[in-house]
Amino acid sequence: MFTRLSLTFIALLTCSFSASAIEQPSQNQLVSILLEAEDHLSVKPSKSLVLLSGEVDLSLLSEAQFFRWHVALIRASLSFNELSTMESSIKHLISRKSSTEFKRRLIPILSSIGIWLRKSGYLQQAKLTLTCALTHNTNEINEIKLLTSLAIASRHLNQNEYAREVYNFAKKIAQNEKLEPSIATIENNLGGLALESNDVVKAEHHFRTALALYQKESIRSGNIISGINLLQTFLIQHQHLNYQRLYPSIARLTDTFPNKSRKSTLFWLNTIFEIRQGKQLSDELKAQLIWNFNQINDRKLQLILIKYFSDDLNMELNVPNNVSLKSSAPSWFKEITQCDWQKLAPQYVG
């Protein structure tokens, strides 16, 4: 439930009066909004996204608060694949690349940039950025996150064996540090690699481990993604009873989490299940399947769905062309002077 402050703030953003009639939040109000948004980043990022997305005067904030605001907004945006919002905040941060705060927060900023580049199709540039971040990093927790992102980018470049090695290296660090959320993320990603390699039994094991850890840590977004992945392995193996047992809880969580790609993936899987139970594949249902298929923002996942479930459907699906090798990054990419791009370039091979 929204607090009195957040309700007041949202009302300010959405009221129909003219701009001159709207009273902008004061510095103290902005700081309170920031604190509330940061508090909800892990448990309810949707609330953080609402709180931080308004048109407000951030010049009222200190330099440190300005950076906290945009770093938090990037994290909240990432949960819902809001890439345009992420890029906008990245540009705001890069505009202050000479500040002490930029240098102090260099690792999370580079990590966010690497993730944005990967999700936007600039995989080579993503690997380059993450490599740069690793050369500056001195913290093991950050190292795990950076290695995980590096492995994901490598997987999308079809460098699966390298990705597996990086995941397992990161997993050892996470186990030594007893960082169960990080272990869960790595297990979930290892499950994806196993599924691509047709080792469905191993994939199920990884996804089960990830789901148990996410549930233990009460991480809802991880619970959803690992749960959906586990449901997928149940369907592939025709373990329909296991599917029926797990589906209701994952469906409830997914319904309350505004991520179109996750919702569409779950719709796809449950439709396959229903077809196997005798539901007719009508023209209307085919159209819904095609629409939802196009909402899934992971090309690898789209390929896996076609690979394992095409026999259940009498329809043609087109997977988008591989756009993962965009050659020229956005103009702001070269403005990150903290990275020696020429020296780093030989360290990644596409």
Tokens (6 digits) for 65: 């608060």
pLDDT of residue 19: 42
Give the highest mean pLDDT range of 4-8, 157-161, 273-277.
273-277
Q: Lowest-pLDDT range, 213-227, 281-295, 326-340?
A: 326-340
Higher pLDDT: 326 or 168? It is 168
pLDDT for residue 296 is more than 60:
yes
pLDDT of residue 150: 95
SS3 call for 133: helix
pLDDT for residue 15 is more than 60:
no
Q: What is the pLDDT of residues 214-249, one digit of tens each?
A: 999 988 889 999 999 999 999 999 999 999 999 999
Task: Write phi, then psi, for 303 (nearest 5 degrees).
Answer: -65, -40
* pTM score: 0.82
d(Cα 126, Cα 153) in Å, to the nearest integer? 7
pLDDT for residue 206 is more than 60:
yes
Average pLDDT over residues 179-194: 96
In a 13 Å sphere around the CA of 54, the CA atoms on its Cβ side amount to: 24
Q: How confident is the model at residue 325 (pLDDT cuts 50, 70, 90)?
A: low
Higher pLDDT: 337 or 250? It is 250
Q: What is the pLDDT of residues 267-287, one digit of tens each?
A: 999 999 999 999 999 999 999
pLDDT of residue 348: 41
Average pLDDT over residues 199-223: 95
Assess contact for 93 and 113: CB atoms under 8 A.
no
Assess contact for 325 and 124: CB atoms under 8 A.
yes
Cβ partners under 8 Å of residue 247, min gap 6:
231, 270, 273
